[in-house]
Structure 1
Amino acid sequence: MKSLLTAPLAFVAAALLACPAIGATRDAATAIAEVSGGSMQTDASSSQTLDRVRRSGTLVCGVVIDEDDISEADTHGNLSKLGADYCRAMAAEIFGDVNKARFVSSSDEPAALAALRDGKTDVLFGATPNPVLGMVYHLAFGPPILIDGQGFLVANRLGIRTLADLGGRNVCFINASPPEQTLYDSLEPRLKKRENRFPYSERGEMDIALLDGHCDAITGDISWMANVRASFGKRASEFSILPDTVSIDPFSPAYRTGDPGWAALVDWTVWAAQQAEAHGITQANVATLGRSTDPVVQRLVGTSPWIGRTLGIPDNAFQHAVAAVGNSGEIYQRNVGSGSDLDLPRGRSALAEQGGLLWSLPVEPSQ
């Protein structure tokens, strides 16, 4: 079996803000205290980054806060709250305290990647995995926390239900942006009649055109479409995001190359949240599972020593993370799904066993 630290993830594809400023959860410190018993002892880390983070007393995470007009180099909408919760999960694992998380916001992915490369942040939650950009910035990407993709926001009154219904319709997009090229490459082959293309240079202009009926549909990643729809306020219910997309754009953490121990800790922060969901471990019940007879649950909550020592964190670190922010499903619903203004169905961002595309390494005994 491949080492849990070195197993590869094959997925193709500056203001410092206080923690509560980006979607803080309930009293996470209290929740951690309920499960920790005050113990945060661990062996020395094999990660230089983790050692430095511990000495500083702060985990600094990069997040992208989408601005009014889409960047030509950006595709996702504002997913900073989603990323912030995964950062808090890491802080809970390392320190037992979500308030040790701090955030550096960037207006687009290139700026966030540059901040990570330059050491201004310890990890970025998150970005689109891109091997070429990874080479340029000397970064690597972890497992996805969300599966995004280019979709279409349409006016309900027009009866557009599928991609095929966009034939002959006025489809609007931001000029010279990634969605424009994808529109040409991936939508047109699916239509019997070509769509009418209307480029815009500013997002605000395009949004107004959709509201006023000059655009029948606008296109971009569905996380961006959800942000646009939420901005419509009382009129949001007049618009829907089509269920089909014309691309797959994962949203993943990023970290600097050269520190496999840190990479493994970031990856297992994501995978542990997903495994917790798969095995029914929630923010509400995690404190009660100390006597579980399920060997996977025992490893995740720390009653059976697992990979904590190898990663340089306590055996019950993942229990702290779930106590603080919940499992991957809870994190999604609170920040992107039914518990948020975005109200995006889980879809491809569900676990593989639920029909989605998110998968994780198994929680097997370490070797």
Structure 2
Amino acid sequence: MSVTRKAVAGAERLVVKVGSSALTTAGSGLDAARLDALVDAIVGRIEQGSQLVLVSSGAIGAGLAPLTLGKRPRDLATQQAAASVGQLQLAHAYAESFGRYSLTVGQVLLTSDDVVRRAHYRNAQRTFSRLLTLGAVPVVNENDTVATEEIRFGDNDRLATLVAHLIGADALVLLSDVDGLYDGDPRDGATRKIAEVTSDADIDGLAVGMSSSGLGTGGMVSKLAAARTAAAAGIPVLLAAAAEASRALTAADVGTAFAAADSRLSARRFWLGYAAGTTGRLQLDDGAVAAVVRRRRSLLAAGITGVSGDFQAGDVVELVDGAQRVVARGVVAFDAGELPELIGRSSHELPAEQRREVVHADDLVPLRR
């Protein structure tokens, strides 16, 4: 067994995320048998001594049947109405299912904004810590009833990654209706499942298939992004089918494993790299990309080839390579209007007051491995 799978199997604290398609059926709402099977697997892991936080999609899907809606609505107001009804259905179902084992469930409704705003971060951290100390199982869901932009592609996958870092999880398990990462659409018999991902090079240019259930907002692209984020932040990840939850949470010998980076990012650097909003982009030449990503150096004006966006000094910007791939994020030291006349120029060519790093290494987080 690989080091990554051993880390997932032995994690003392972990986050499990399950998608809508694994819990609900179009037109019928929650599938009690599938939900109970998931809970059985989770309780088995808890009984081994692990602390576990469950990030669960499914509120909108659970609200469809009670509202006699045949499929997931497209308009925001109806999505929010379905979430309002479904949230109660989902919470009640989890409370009853975990109650079979005399375990208490604590519902935590979040938007990604609640996690990424640094002022809220500590409060959420304390709440999770206390729930786990008291022996409750926190069940987290996107607060779809009031969320607007948050109801979009893959939000709960991203939320699971943010929660995993917030609680100091030792591993993240993503469960869906697909049994791993494939090098193409898994419905095509010619594709191959990838057992282990050790670096971005393993999956660059991958064309991944999408979930076709019609119930979730995500898909394999969303899960891949979440797995890459968590792994880059130092958290090992297992992507597996919800139907194989028991094996995923015991031997961890199914699905696709994502190896974690050698060191875990601090809360500030994680926020900077993966949670903070960005207001612009700086395009880098090949030499600057190598300096920033591989050598962890500061970004100088000489390595910049283009600027876009409306940002001010102190804002977070994306750093992209010639192919427009985001390679890093950082706090920029100049306003957008100041940079065009500086780019491509060496420090000795600049006025003394402008001879400083555009993005200092201490305020920069590489996003590729």
The TM-score, its normalising length taken from structure 2, stands at 0.23
Query: Using CA pairs below 8 Å that are at least 6 residues apart, which structure has the higher relative contact order?
Result: 1
The TM-score, its normalising length taken from structure 1, stands at 0.23
